[in-house]
Chains A and B, each alone.
Chain A
């Protein structure tokens, strides 16, 4: 039916590409980008690891002692 197709990856899994550039480490771990907290531009009213987006799972989806569930389903 479709066996002649080829599934190629451009970025993911390349031996030459490290974990950071395929997204497997957080951007914080990549180092060079600035954060609003450093005050480089000063016009960002709010940035936080849980105060903007990302806090809900710890409040409404936490179960047990483990990290809250992930966003996928």
Chain B
């Protein structure tokens, strides 16, 4: 694994905008950054990223199965009891998952380590699937990177195949917070892949979903929503007024309710408990577990529910190195062994390992000068050399 500085394409902004990638710059700061790229060997991709991703996914599914059968898991994850039956039913119906992204620490030496699983509402999929592929093709054509360069990336193809498999004959509704450019762009991209799979689609804001007297969720044309992709986390759904109607409405959701288990940072201690010393896991404990003392005075403290680095604290030798502010933490915290991100030219990269329909299929990289990756961290492309 290397970080290689390189010239940027002089027309990349126009290219981004012509493909609908309007959020390449956020609040005046680069989000897409191609002044460097990360290079991997094929062996690193296949052995150190793809294979562990598959293994971690299998462990996660085993954990869900166990949590469905043992309510103490749901209790430890602080999932409201009112939704346990909804979650269980979605698992027993084998409701399909479209995608997810594992965040991994990897430095080219030693095994990749799971930092967290964005199992419910991962974003950055457009830039991972499409725009970094465009970069690869153009960077090769313009002699920016070697002609032999390749990329670990079949996300786009697999999304289309997955939609064909899970879409059926239903119209697909896609809903989220469309006022946010990144979320709107993600929804628009997923809508595009669904359309390429032959699905009829409707995109709307999550707040525009209505409820009819017959208990069906409906769109703005009063059309019943049979199949809905939501870029809106389950823990928020559970707090909304319509949450009481989730169990009885016939809508099938993507991601399904059972993903509420995996998007919870409480899975990190549960995975460690089930698979102790697994090479791709970091020791982790619930903060109120006396075993958390085994981590000593160096650990990362994460809220059970948290998004984009908020309320995460890095503690080393009892001293808080970095602490991100935010609104989370009411449900409690976990502690995970401190595994500092590697430092490449003063930048700390986190690898995003993508799964579509449970199959590992691509890589994205976010880097930051801050060792906690947040919503302002930049996206850099990668290549296999």
Contact = CB atoms under 8 A, between A and B. Distances in A.
Co-assembled chains A and B: yes
Interface of A: 1-3, 5, 7-13, 15, 22-28, 33-36, 41, 43-57, 59-63, 67, 69-73
B213 A73 contact: no
A45 B204 CA distance: 19
B207 A44 contact: no
A61 B236 contact: yes
A73 B123 contact: yes
A24 B180 CA distance: 9
Which 6 pairs from chain A and chain B are nearest by CB? A72-B123, A54-B207, A13-B20, A56-B236, A70-B180, A47-B210
B269 to A, nearest CB: 20
Nearest to A20: B203
Interface stretch (B81-89, B151-159, B162-170, B312-320): B151-159
Q: Interface majority SS on B: helix, strand, loop or mixed?
A: mixed
B118 interface: yes
A69 B212 CA distance: 29
Nearest to B328: A61
Contacts of A1: 42, 150-152, 384
B366 to A, nearest CB: 12
A47 to B, nearest CB: 4
22 contacts: A2-B153, A24-B20, A27-B203, A34-B220, A35-B220, A46-B241, A47-B210, A48-B207, A49-B207, A49-B208, A52-B207, A52-B241, A54-B205, A55-B241, A56-B238, A60-B330, A63-B327, A71-B177, A72-B123, A73-B120, A73-B121, A73-B233
B308 interface: yes
Contacts of B130: 7, 9
B210 A52 contact: yes
B20 A72 contact: no
Contacts of B188: 11-12, 22-24
B178 interface: yes
Interface string B215-249: 00010111000000011110111111110000000
A2 B310 CA distance: 37
A1 B185 CA distance: 28
B210 A36 contact: yes
B326 A71 contact: no
Contact of A2 (B151, B239, B325): B151
Contacts of B196: 8, 10
B20 A22 contact: yes
Contacts of B205: 26-28, 49, 54
A12 B210 contact: no
B18 A15 contact: yes
Contacts of B22: 24
A44 B206 CA distance: 16
